[in-house]
Chain A
């Protein structure tokens, strides 16, 4: 497998990104394409011994900064690392791209370079959260689209259904809409409109509204929300987990084993759904372990053929 790594994106780029990529190269047979500033990458590589035959440097002279308008950056910075990395998939030179940089830029690159799957306006990011059944629920979208239309939430539900059937082998996953009340008619205008669309959609096992306290209650397999709310949910979980971890260490002197299920570095990254290629979005604060696991997620998505699997589900439901 050939994996394009955006080495310039993220709070700890390029050092931690290169380190995570090298860890993956050492324990796999994959070829890693390190995309970014050639000089900086070579400087980092000098610090390690690595399998040179499975590492390639792909020069990219620009970086999309976190404060830039992603869509404008896409036009202005044609040699940005995320653009160059995504083009490698388009050119058939890479099977997946992994980035810890600007999510918006990665989204824009995926939309305009890889293209969207039929019937999809805006690709969402999917993330899994632990639930009380000892399994996981999927949350779609966790940050790619902050302003959504009701039709887009319906598309997120369909993509969530597709992804749940791929990664959780669920034939007819339960779909819930994150809202501030369980009853139909609750919520803001977006939630009310989205509820109607979800309820009317054929072949969708819509179980209704899910309140914030029921996120972990195993009431549904796929939780649909816009990226603004989804990102707050995810970051809130991170913050709460850190607070509880601190209290556990203070009282018990150690972290209980279940905490591993809340550790984002163990997941590493989440795929953008609804685009015609595997693009893995990693946390901006990723260090080497998270990068390593983000690359692992990319290889799993390629092996599971998530693009064609999504196409199959979309063809039967859209």
Chain B
């Protein structure tokens, strides 16, 4: 999970022009000034890395980055089993 989060963090840091240290599991999208376009862009970047398609959930369901990362990671684990 931590390794997966590091990848997410790296993608987001580059996308949002932020220092990686500013991005934590507890960060809300509001704090990161990340809009839905940013989130979809991040998910698409992950899809390219892992060569899969994540479920098309409502992005509004996730209150912070950690919740989204957990959901994506759980799906990744299922697919890779």
Binding site for B on A (CB under 8 A): 69-72, 74-76, 107-108, 111-112, 122, 147, 149, 151
A72/B37 in contact, CB under 8 A? no
A-B contact pairs, 15 of them (CB 8 A): A69-B58, A71-B37, A71-B40, A72-B36, A72-B56, A72-B59, A75-B56, A107-B37, A108-B40, A111-B37, A111-B41, A112-B44, A122-B37, A147-B35, A151-B17
A149/B33 in contact, CB under 8 A? yes
B33/A71 in contact, CB under 8 A? no
CB distance from B18 to the nearest CB of A (A): 11
**Cβ–Cβ < 8 Å partners of A69 in chain B:** 36, 58-60
Q: Mark B11-52, 1 if CB is under 8 A from A, else 0.
A: 000000100000000000000010111011101100000000
For the complex, what is the distance from the CA of A149 to the CA of B35, rounded to whole Å?
11
**Cβ–Cβ < 8 Å partners of B58 in chain A:** 69, 72
CB closest residue in chain B, given A68 = B58
CB distance from B2 to the nearest CB of A (A): 26
CB distance from B68 to the nearest CB of A (A): 12
B44/A71 in contact, CB under 8 A? no
For the complex, what is the distance from the CA of A259 to the CA of B57, rounded to whole Å?
47
CB closest residue in chain B, given A107 = B37
CB distance from A29 to the nearest CB of B (A): 37
Q: Which of A71, A147, A149 contacts B59 (CB 8 A)?
A: A71
**Cβ–Cβ < 8 Å partners of B43 in chain A:** 75
**Cβ–Cβ < 8 Å partners of A108 in chain B:** 37, 40
**Cβ–Cβ < 8 Å partners of B41 in chain A:** 111-112
CB distance from B77 to the nearest CB of A (A): 21
For the complex, what is the distance from the CA of A108 to the CA of B39, rounded to whole Å?
12
CB closest residue in chain A, given B33 = A149
For the complex, what is the distance from the CA of A314 to the CA of B43, rounded to whole Å?
28
**Cβ–Cβ < 8 Å partners of A111 in chain B:** 37, 41
B40/A112 in contact, CB under 8 A? yes
A70/B36 in contact, CB under 8 A? yes
A72/B35 in contact, CB under 8 A? no
**Cβ–Cβ < 8 Å partners of A149 in chain B:** 33
**Cβ–Cβ < 8 Å partners of B60 in chain A:** 69, 72
CB distance from B79 to the nearest CB of A (A): 17
For the complex, what is the distance from the CA of A122 to the CA of B38, rounded to whole Å?
10
A71/B56 in contact, CB under 8 A? no
**Cβ–Cβ < 8 Å partners of B57 in chain A:** 72
For the complex, what is the distance from the CA of A107 to the CA of B40, rounded to whole Å?
13
CB closest residue in chain B, given A75 = B56
For the complex, what is the distance from the CA of A79 to the CA of B54, rounded to whole Å?
17
CB distance from B81 to the nearest CB of A (A): 24
**Cβ–Cβ < 8 Å partners of B40 in chain A:** 71-72, 74-75, 108, 112
CB closest residue in chain A, given B58 = A72
